[in-house]
Amino acid sequence: MLYKIFADLIVVMHFAWILFMLVGVILTLIGFFYKRFFDWWLFRTLHLCGIIYVGLKAFLREYCPLTILENTLRAKYNPDLTYPGSFIVHYIEKLVYPDVNPSIILVPTIFIAVFTIAVFIIKPPAKIRRIFK
């Protein structure tokens, strides 16, 4: 039972990670057009590192470590389970692991990574800008 609970928690963490990445892209896009709207250096730096990691994983067509961990935990709980997790986790999994061609996720992920890196270089957070002056 503990494996199932941990696997469900991993799915929730994975969903939170995806939300962090998406919110970061939206705030980066808004911040690109409004000078002082989005200058949280720590958030932007963590987001940049995260998006580079996600972009590299997508480009190399490697699975996310959270996916591997979740699958390992589910297999230890019950490999034949047809409805894994709770009701909410079941539907979150459909958002986290959509049943689509990997290119549909790969292309936007790489575009978002390149865009985020470009914005970070063009308009770095004020604290980072001061360090490199």
CA 127 to each of CA 59, 72, 120: distance values in angstroms, whole numbers, following the listed order: 31, 41, 12
Task: State residue 74 phi and psi, 5-degree precision.
Answer: -65, -40
- Report the amino acid identity of residue 86: S
SS3 101: coil
First to last CA, the chain: 55
What are the domain boundaries of the chain? 2-131
**What is the model's pLDDT at position 81?**
55
> What pLDDT sits at residue 35?
65
Which among 66, 89, 83 is positioned nearest to 17, based on CA atoms? 66
Give the tens place of pLDDT for each residue, 30-48.
Answer: 877 776 667 788 888 999 9
Record the pTM: 0.71
In this predicted model, what pLDDT tens digit does every residue of 49-107 receive, in sequence order? 999 998 888 888 787 888 888 888 888 887 765 444 444 566 667 777 777 787 887 88
Half-sphere exposure of 117 (CA within 13 A, CB side): 14
